[in-house]
Amino acid sequence: MSTQKVALISGANKGIGFETARQLGKKGIVVFLGARDLAKGEAAAEQLKKEGIDARAVKFDVVNPADVKAAAERIEKEFGRLDILVNNAGVMMEPIGGNNSSSVSEEILRKTFETNFFSVVTVTNEFLPLLKKSDAGRIVNVSSILGSLTLHATEGSPIYEAKALAYDSSKTAQNAYTVHLAHELKGTKIKVNSAHPGWVKTDMGTDAAPMDVVDGAKTEVELATLGADGPTGGFFHMGQPISW
């Protein structure tokens, strides 16, 4: 079995997920690029291979249990363990800005939670046995500052006027999962943290965002490669804690 670290990043064929894979790969880590569309995942992996990275595409629609199970079986067969899981895949189906608390549809609420919360739990549970075989398992849940209840409730905060109920509450739920899972795994070698990448120029973030994708991936990469003395059960952006 290889001694190289192995990482799986969901939603990794573009945006922050792709850049996270690139930065982890540059550190000599084998990166599995999870993608709903395998062809797009393979194209992304080929791009990284040209940069000298050991990148491998895997069909990985996070809301499809068959995909998740097949990916776990492949990684177990090829490496026998997983060192890093980055739950990056996410959706935002509402406009940015304003408050839609009484108007957002049940369909959007359910679809958003299916990807941003329920699939994170399902995927993590599927890969936990492999993470427990790692010498230093790391789970990074890619959240958002929009999941902070403290900042939403604080008048004058940067997000006070931006209240997209489905997306925001799905990330709040994801943060709760981070806290709960980190507590369950306390005393093990696995660390679980939430990351706020920042407002980044991606398909979701749009060109109006102030941050480039290279900087947007830095928080995930830092949390994915924490040393033994690193934090667990926290919510961070660029090394700084964010209020829950």
Q: Given CA atoms 159, 140, 72, 35 in this order, what sign does their dihedral have?
A: positive
- Give 92-97's long-range contacts (Cβ < 8 A, gap of 24+): 92/164, 92/167, 92/204, 93/166, 93/167, 94/164, 94/165, 94/166, 94/167, 95/164, 96/162, 96/164, 96/206, 97/161, 97/162
Q: What are 34's strand-pairing partners?
A: 58
Helix orientation angle between 165-184 and 106-113, rounded to the nearest 10 degrees? 30
DSSP string over the chain: ---S-EEEETT-SSHHHHHHHHHHHHTT-EEEEEESSHHHHHHHHHHHHTTT--EEEEE--TT-HHHHHHHHHHHHHHHS--SEEEE------S-SSEE-TTT--HHHHHHHHIIIIIHHHHHHHHHHHHHTTSSS-EEEEE--GGG-HHHHTSTTSTTTTEE-HHHHHHHHHHHHHHHHHHHHTTTSS-EEEEE---SBSSTTT-TT-SB-HHHHTHHHHHHHT--TTS--S-EEETTEE---
Q: What are the structural domains, with CATH classification, of the chain?
A: 6-241 (3.40.50.720)
Rounded Cα–Cα distance for residues 151 and 243 (Å): 7
> Per-residue pLDDT tens for 6-48?
999 999 999 899 999 999 999 999 999 999 999 999 999 999 9
Residue 140 and residue 196 in contact, taking contact as beta carbons nearer than 8 Å: no
pLDDT (average), residues 55-59: 98
> Per-residue pLDDT tens for 119-172?
999 999 999 999 999 999 999 999 999 999 999 999 999 889 999 999 999 999
Q: Which of 167, 177, 235, 236 is catalytic?
A: 167
User: For residue 59, what are its two tokens?
Assistant: 């069909």
The tokens 């549809």 sit on which residue? 105
Nearest alpha carbon to residue 134 among 53, 88, 76, 94:
76
Give the phi and the psi of residue 200 in degrees, each rounded to 5: -120, 145
Q: Cα 166 to chain center, whole Å?
A: 18
pTM of the prediction? Answer: 0.94
Is 167 an active-site residue? yes
Q: How many other β-carbons are positioned within 10 Å of the β-carbon of residue 233? A: 16
Residue 209 clears pLDDT 70, i.e. is over it? no
Rounded Cα–Cα distance for residues 46 and 123 (Å): 25
pLDDT for 100: 97
> Per-residue pLDDT tens for 58-103?
999 999 999 999 999 999 999 999 999 999 999 999 987 899 999 9
